[in-house]
Structure 1
Amino acid sequence: MKSTIHPGRAAASTLSRWFVRKFLQYALVLLIALTINFALPRLAPGDPINYFAGQEINTLTAEQRARLKQELGLDRSVWKQYQDFITGAFRLDLGSSTKLGKPVTQVLRERMPWTFLLVAPALLLSSLIGVISGAYAAWSRGKRREVALLTTMLALQSLPGFWIGMLLIAVFAVKLGWLPSYGAVPLVHTGTGQYVIEIIRRMLLPVATITLATVGSHFLLTRSSMLDTLGQDYILMAEAKGVTRRGLIYRHALRNALLPVYTHLTMSLGILVSGAVVVETVFSYPGIGRLLYESVVARDFPMMQGVFLIITVGVIAANLLADLTYPLVDPRARSTKHLEGSA
């Protein structure tokens, strides 16, 4: 008598294997990124200590250089240095900043909340505006309002983020004097409502800059996906059955058109962290992006390595989130055949 496997158990086994494959894939990508991060200062021309000691290296004597090299572990074999770097990265021990004299992880913890304060509302606003206007433009294809929307979004998409930021500063900070043009207030302060208002006022221009710089991509992707979906047979059938215009757009077309948009949004979480470099620099905003700029100027390589690691982990985590949650959004991705065929 042949043994049979319960379909539920088979599906659960396939799903667990799929999860394991995904985690192993992204773990390998993270290891490769860490290896590249480790190799950069050692493959560059000259002595690696020149990159880790920063601008102060020119003032050190030969004896001080030797002592610093020993403290940084650069006198050990490359394999031992690599082992120490990998274990230190997983322990969140990334060394000390040569410019600030603080542990890299401490500085990153201080700066990361500021970047999240910019990225989170900017991503939410650009996504909502882009998706809603993209769906509306697809439904109004060929009409004047669709042409106006498409022209506006293409113009925003072509403008660099720093130029948008400078334009907003010139109008709302310099000419009108409504908003501050730079800086922020410490998050550690536990002040009153006026303190919260001041934080929001200083966030408005950077958030508006990131939103305007990224809304075009969400709009164009949603519009393209909606146009493809509106041409499907089931949409024509629903329209023939007398489904209302509102129901046709939001219950039938938009739900299916949002699948590629959802993937784009999740991956934008990681991309926006690195994309905030220009905006934070323009507004002198104390986030991860501004920290990277300051580290490059000061040749603070330990801090640069820490920021690169944060950006890499953010992009990998966003892609992993997209892969793991996509089956929850698209029922077709939950099938056993799809899971077995995916890498």
Structure 2
Amino acid sequence: MKRPDRSWLSRLGQYAVVLWVAVTLNFALPRLAPGDPALVMFTGEGDPSPEVLAELGALYGLDDPILVQYGRFWTDLLHGDLGLSTVHNRPVADVLMERLPWSLTLVGLGLIGAIIVGSLLGAWSAWRREAGRPGKDKGTLIGVLAVDSMPGFWVAMLLITVFSAQLGWLPSYASAELPDETFAWLVESGRRLIMPLLTMIITSIGTYYLLARASMTTVLGEPFIRLARAKGLPERRVATGHALRTALLPIATNASMAAGALVSGAVVVETVFSYPGLGKVIADAVAARDYPMLQGAFLLATIGVVLANILADLFYPLLDPRVRHTRQVVPA
């Protein structure tokens, strides 16, 4: 008799520990800053008076013992209360929910685009190399590495210079006021998304290109590829139906881990283009020392990375049936 594998219980426990550590670090962030946390959060002009600091301390509960603050922090979090932004003077959760769809669109499409472009280029490069055309492989490798070495802000400024300043095709600022009519809003939002999305893809394809190239090179030397060719299958079917699917396994694993890196890269991209996403919120919060906003944004990013890893665990068996396993129950 078979029983379900209990490894998922262990994984969920690990994810729970990761979230607990992230939440604890978010709680400790303003309290680890030098000086009085209330002074760090102060956004007024000049030095605050003791009365103002006491009022801020009472507002954020900073005068209570640390364990009391920690317990209240968790209680508020479980009720969806992430605090009050010192810059926007609004609940942090409201601001984040407004900006989240913009960042999900940018980071999600950027990740998908980088995976598709990088993987196809890497697989094609390895196929050319295996077919006895190393020159094209080396040329593609040098070109991709050259592009991958460009910093994100430089790529963004280059795109603005060409497509906005010189050609005038695309707007350089994504946070300008949008039209009210639905279709016009979608068209204008799409136009303002093009350059930030291109920047995300261009600066991310190198990782997937190298992974796909190395994985494809290894797979093409496997016995099942030689067997497929011995059966007389067309080369295109061997490449796409056998080699490429197997070569995508490490890319699927890396995609979940790359989600966090893309979120950090989005901070630079969104700042350059004034894109109204979480990255821009984080940059503005750092400049203004809006710690409640930073805590909420970092927590949201952590949850996103954990969810990406869970999705990778769920979909990985669809790509590689070998990871599906069950434990045998020995009868008494």
Per the alignment, residue 220 of structure 1 pairs with 210
Per the alignment, residue 245 of structure 2 pairs with 255
Per the alignment, residue 15 of structure 2 pairs with 26
Give the alignment partner of residue 103 of structure 2, picking from 108, 115, 120.
115
Give the alignment partner of residue 296 of structure 2, picking from 283, 306, 328.
306
Q: What's the TM-score once normalised by structure 1's chain length?
A: 0.89
- What SS is found at the alignment partner of 1:56? coil
Q: Deviations over 1:271-304 (max 9, x none)?
A: 3222200000111111100111101111111111
Per the alignment, residue 91 of structure 1 pairs with 79
Give 1:154-169 correspondences, 5 Å limit.
154-169=145-160
Give the percent of matched residue pairs that are identical in Structure 1 and Structure 2.
46
Paired residues of 2:160 and 2:172 also in contact (CA < 8 A): yes
Give 1:148-297 correspondences, 5 Å limit.
148-184=139-175, 191-297=181-287
Total equivalences in the alignment: 325
AA aligned to 1:225 is: S
Paired residues of 1:33 and 1:312 also in contact (CA < 8 A): yes
Gaps of 5+ in 1: 1-5, 339-343
Paired residues of 1:270 and 1:317 also in contact (CA < 8 A): no
CA-based RMSD of the aligned residues comes to 1.9
In structure 2, C-alpha distance between the alignment counterparts of 1:289 and 1:107, rounded to whole Å: 13
Give the alignment partner of residue 80 of structure 1, picking from 68, 79, 82.
68
- What SS is found at the alignment partner of 2:203? helix
Per the alignment, residue 341 of structure 1 pairs with none
In structure 2, C-alpha distance between the alignment counterparts of 1:120 and 1:186, rounded to whole Å: 23
In structure 2, C-alpha distance between the alignment counterparts of 1:216 and 1:239, rounded to whole Å: 30
Q: Deviations over 1:147-172 (max 9, x none)?
A: 22211111111111111111111111
- What SS is found at the alignment partner of 1:293? helix
Paired residues of 1:54 and 1:301 also in contact (CA < 8 A): no
Give 1:1-40 correspondences, 5 Å limit.
6-7=1-2, 10=3, 12=4, 14=5, 17-40=6-29
AA aligned to 2:219 is: T
**How far has the Cα of 1:230 moved from its partner?**
0.6
The answer to whether the aligner puts 1:71 opposite 2:62 as a matched pair is: no
- Relative to structure 1, the CA distance from residue 103 to residue 186 in structure 2 (aligned partners, 3 Å threshold; closer, same or farther) is farther
Q: Deviations over 1:42-91 (max 9, x none)?
A: 2222112123x332284532223212211211111100101111222232
Give 1:322-333 correspondences, 5 Å limit.
322-333=312-323
- Relative to structure 1, the CA distance from residue 87 to residue 186 in structure 2 (aligned partners, 3 Å threshold; closer, same or farther) is farther
Gaps of 5+ in 2: none
Per the alignment, residue 3 of structure 1 pairs with none
In structure 2, C-alpha distance between the alignment counterparts of 1:190 and 1:173, rounded to whole Å: 23
- What SS is found at the alignment partner of 2:233? coil
**How far has the Cα of 1:195 moved from its partner?**
2.3
- 157-166 or 231-240: bigger deviation: 231-240
AA aligned to 2:105 is: L
**How far has the Cα of 1:186 moved from its partner?**
6.0
